[in-house]
């Protein structure tokens, strides 16, 4: 018997987890779907009923809605995944289920990082397609939401869902209670301290000096090196957070 | 089956719950784990199941280190905790989701146990009473056919008929390759069930002996007056319930409660009787 990973056991674990986690997950997804539907209905209804003509401003709500709601949904799901480990009776059952810690961790990554992202993208794009498809033919091609993605986004954006969920997944296993608030506060404090350190150290290091004009990274006109570095940084940080989550799960006690 | 060597464990490094604790538990036995509140009964069980980590020492369970939580060992452990959680599903959904992890799970035996415990099969788990839930997890645990069965206060919340059913089922569940460890405060619930008594007190094992060995070395009697031979006695309506060395190979029935109190009150004398 492989004590680290077994595909059949992993499948059983996903099935078992769905029994407990699936209900909360589907309710959250339904709420998210309701919010998207409501936002689209409010914006498109006057156009459909002929009260107002269609213009680009009518659909400017989509980007902030997509980012804001997506962030809330992904972080809420990730933050609740291991939250039950703060309760002794649930922890005992979870730790003693005959699956490896790696499989339990991987199931967490699957539900929070992969399934949540895919399902969110799917319901957002489908809602968008349904509403936009009912617009006049002339406007339709320009305003599909996925047409923004089709031309390619800033590369780190593709990593962001995994990065954000990795932080909140760690928070769900690290804190015993109030996982979401504590994780959000920790991230804010960390960003604050980090920015202060970068700002202060930058000020100290560059005091009395002039900026170099032809910095190959910042001023080349080609943003790809910076983009690559940022993408790489996010990938590395995501992996680091996952490793810490795995170790934290491994050392969890009742 | 279980070998514990020089175990040092505590919830704080300053105050250890177990100091250099060592013991061996073998298959084919039902062990009764007794001790005062806070003596460490539940903690010892959690150490055996790998739910907590010791500071030092070694625990070997069926050839595995429980702290590693390997699936091969976890499927051989049935742990019935004092406090437990059951999801809001029906029994068949619960079994479908969990039984597949245990390769030896016996569905027919599980059905028999449900019937014996009189558990309604079509009811949602959250709507069951505490006692019904407890009986359900006991039935599920036994049906996994795990080699090591650990039970922490299993009779808490069970009514009187259920306690009798529990004793009957547990006695029938013991096989040569199984080891059953039951921790409880309610020592009378374990009467005629356990074959070995383990008592924890002051960070160590105060007593570990089989029922046969105990009744061979100690005699449990009702006496009118106390004399010098009595190790420990408790007053009763007709005199005293007394515990004394069994010098004349007398047959007596083990009084677990009396023994428990005697071990706490007269630890040195009891140890001397076993040496």
Grouped pLDDT means (10 residues each) for chain B, 275 residues = 94 88 94 91 95 95 96 96 90 94 95 92 90 93 96 91 90 94 87 90 88 92 87 90 89 90 88 82
Residues of B in contact with A92 (CB under 8 A): 51, 79, 81, 84
What residue in B sits closest to A251 (Cα-Cα)? B53
What is the spatial distance between Cα B165 and Cα B167, in angstroms, rounded to a whole number? 5
Minimal-distance CA residue of chain A relative to B75: A98
Contact B95, B169 (CB under 8 A): no
Give B152 to chain A, closest Cα distance, Å. Answer: 12
Distance from the A254 Cα atom to the nearest Cα atom in chain B, whole angstroms: 6
**What is the reported pLDDT for A154?**
81
pLDDT reported for residue A111:
95
How many CB atoms sit inside 10 A of residue B15's CB? 8
Q: Are B38 and B162 found together in one domain?
A: yes
Side-chain-facing half-sphere of B93: CA atoms under 13 Å: 16
Helices (H), chain A: 7-48, 62-81, 88-96, 101-109, 116-133, 137-143, 146-150, 156-174, 179-205, 224-250
Residue B97 lies in a domain: yes
Rounded to a whole number, what is the distance in Å from the CA of A7 to chain B's nearest CA? 12
pLDDT of res. A216: 54
- By the CB < 8 Å criterion, does B130 face chain A? no
User: Which residue out of A96, A102, A252 would a mutagenesis test of the B interface target, given it has the greatest number of B Cβ atoms within 10 Å?
Assistant: A96
Q: Whole-angstrom Cα distance, residue B207 to residue B215?
A: 14
Contact between chains at A89 and B81 (C-beta distance less than 8 A): yes
CA–CA gap between residue A115 and residue A118 (Å, rounded): 5
Which sign does the torsion angle of CA B67, B69, B75, B80 carry?
positive
Tell me, yes or no, if B74 comes closer than 8 A to chain A by beta carbon: yes
Same structural domain, B191 and B97? yes
d(CA A176, CA A6): 29
Residues β-bridged to residue B199: B34, B207
B149 and B216 share one domain: no
Are B85 and B162 found together in one domain? Answer: yes
Predicted confidence pLDDT, tens digits, chain A (254 residues): 789 999 999 999 999 999 888 888 999 999 999 999 999 999 888 888 888 887 778 788 999 999 999 999 999 999 999 999 989 999 999 999 999 999 999 999 999 999 999 999 999 999 998 888 887 655 555 678 887 766 677 888 889 999 999 999 999 999 998 999 999 999 999 999 999 999 999 888 888 887 766 655 554 555 688 888 999 999 999 999 999 999 999 999 98
Residue B110 in domain: yes
H or E, element range at B73: helix B71-74
Q: What is the DSSP letter of B189?
A: G
Tell me whether residue B9 is in a domain: no
Which of A165, A172, A162 has the alpha carbon at shortest distance from A75? Answer: A165
CB-based contact A12 B53, cutoff 8 Å: no
Domain count, chain B: 2
**CA dist A21 to A35, A112, B88, B126, B272, Å?**
21, 11, 11, 16, 56
Task: Determine the 3-state secondary structure of B138 from DSSP.
Answer: helix
Q: Check whether residue B197 and residue B214 sit in a common domain.
A: no
- What sign has the CA pseudo-torsion B17, B22, B27, B32? negative
Between CA B205 and CA B21 the distance in angstroms is: 7
* pLDDT given at position A222: 57
Cα–Cα nearest to B41, from B151, B138, B133:
B151
Residues B158 and B262 in one domain: no
Nearest CA in chain A to B84: A89
CATH classification of the domain holding B117? 3.40.50.300
Instruction: For residue B124, list its beta bridge partners.
Output: B90
Asked if residue B162 and residue B34 are part of one domain, the reply reads: yes
Rounded to whole angstroms, the Cα distance separating B253 from B240 reads: 15
Closest C-alpha among B142, B145, B140 to residue B128: B140
**Statement to judge: residues B238 and B190 lie in one domain:** no
Cβ of residue A248 closer than 8 Å to a chain B Cβ: no
Measure the CA–CA gap between B129 and B150, rounded to whole angstroms. Answer: 22
* Distance, first Cα to last Cα, chain A: 26
Residue A132 · residue B109 · CB < 8 Å? no
Both structure tokens of B3: 């070998």
Judge if B122 and B173 occupy the same domain.
yes
Tokens of A226: 């910076």
Same domain, B33 and B161: yes
Beta carbons within 8 Å of A41's beta carbon, 6+ residues apart = none
Asked if residue A101 lies in contact with residue B50, where contact means CB atoms within 8 angstroms, the answer is no
Within 8 A of A21 by CB-CB distance, chain B residues are: none
| B195 shares a domain with B226 | no
41-80 in A: which are within 8 Å (CB) of B?
none
B12 touches chain A (CB under 8 A): no
Contacts B84 to A, Cβ<8 Å:
89, 92-93
Q: Which pair of tokens denotes residue A211? A: 């900026």
Q: Where among B171, B201, B231 does a domain terminate? A: B201
**Do residues B222 and B239 make contact, with C-beta atoms less than 8 angstroms apart?**
yes
Which of B201, B232, B250 is the last residue in one of the domains? B201
Neighboring chain A residues of B74 at a CB cutoff of 8 Å = 96-99
Q: Supply the pLDDT for residue B271.
A: 84
Q: How far is Cα A73 from Cα A61, in angstroms, rounded to an integer?
A: 17
- Domain of residue B95 covers 29-48+70-201
Closest residue in B to A4 (Cα–Cα): B70
**Is B154 within 8 Å of B138 (Cβ atoms)?**
yes
B214 and B191 share one domain: no
A101 touches chain B (CB under 8 A): yes
pLDDT of res. A221: 52
How close does chain B come to A89, measured CA to CA in Å?
4
pLDDT at residue number B96: 93
């Amino acid at each position: 018997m492989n004590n680290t990973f077994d595909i059949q056991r992993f499948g059983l674990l996903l099935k078992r987890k769905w029994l407990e986690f699936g209900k909360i997950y589907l309710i959250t997804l339904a709420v998210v779907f309701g919010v998207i539907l409501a936002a689209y209905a409010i914006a498109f209804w006057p156009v459909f009923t002929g009260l107002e003509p269609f213009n680009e401003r009518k659909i400017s709500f989509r980007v902030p809605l997509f980012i804001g709601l997506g962030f809330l949904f992904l972080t809420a799901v990730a933050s609740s995944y291991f939250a039950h480990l703060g309760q002794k009776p649930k922890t005992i059952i979870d730790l003693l289920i005959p699956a490896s810690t790696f499989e339990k961790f991987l199931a967490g990554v699957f539900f929070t990082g992969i399934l949540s992202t895919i399902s969110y993208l799917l319901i957002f794009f489908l809602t968008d397609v349904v509403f936009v498809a009912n617009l006049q033919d002339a406007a339709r091609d320009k305003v599909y939401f996925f047409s923004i993605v089709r031309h390619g986004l800033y590369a780190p954006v593709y990593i962001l869902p995994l990065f954000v969920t990795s932080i909140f997944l760690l928070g769900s296993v690290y804190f015993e209670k109030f996982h979401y608030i504590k994780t959000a506060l920790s991230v804010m404090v960390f960003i604050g301290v980090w920015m202060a350190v970068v700002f202060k150290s930058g000020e100290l290091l560059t005091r009395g000096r002039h900026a170099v004009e032809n910095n190959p990274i910042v001023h080349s006109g080609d943003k790809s090196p910076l983009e690559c570095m940022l993408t790489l940084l996010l990938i590395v940080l995501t992996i680091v957070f996952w490793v810490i989550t795995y170790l934290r799960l491994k050392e969890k006690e009742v | 089956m279980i070998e514990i060597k020089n175990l040092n464990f505590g919830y704080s490094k300053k105050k250890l719950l177990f100091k250099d604790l060592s013991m061996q538990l073998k298959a084919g036995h039902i062990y009764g784990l007794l001790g005062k509140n806070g003596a460490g009964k539940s903690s010892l069980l959690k150490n055996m199941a790998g739910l907590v980590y010791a500071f030092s020492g070694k625990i070997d369970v069926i050839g595995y280190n429980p702290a590693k939580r390997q699936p091969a060992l976890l499927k051989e452990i049935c742990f019935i905790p004092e406090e437990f959680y059951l999801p809001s599903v029906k029994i068949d959904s619960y079994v479908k989701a969990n039984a597949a992890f245990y390769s030896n799970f016996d569905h027919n035996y599980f059905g028999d146990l449900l019937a014996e415990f009189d558990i309604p099969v079509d009811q949602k788990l959250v709507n069951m009473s505490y006692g019904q839930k407890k009986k359900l997890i006991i039935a599920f645990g036994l049906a996994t056919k795990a080699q090591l069965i650990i039970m922490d206060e299993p009779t808490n919340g069970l009514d009187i008929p259920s306690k009798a059913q529990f004793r009957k089922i547990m006695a029938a569940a013991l096989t040569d390759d199984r080891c059953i460890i039951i921790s409880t405060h309610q020592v009378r619930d374990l009467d005629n069930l356990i074959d070995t008594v383990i008592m924890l007190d002051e960070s160590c094992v105060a007593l570990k002996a089989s029922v046969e060995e105990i009744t061979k070395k100690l005699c449990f009697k009702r006496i009118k007056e106390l004399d010098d031979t009595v190790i420990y006695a408790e007053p009763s309506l007709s005199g005293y319930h007394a515990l004394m060395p069994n010098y004349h190979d007398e047959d007596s029935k083990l009084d677990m409660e009396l023994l428990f109190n005697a071990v706490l009150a007269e630890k040195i004398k009891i140890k001397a009787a076993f040496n």
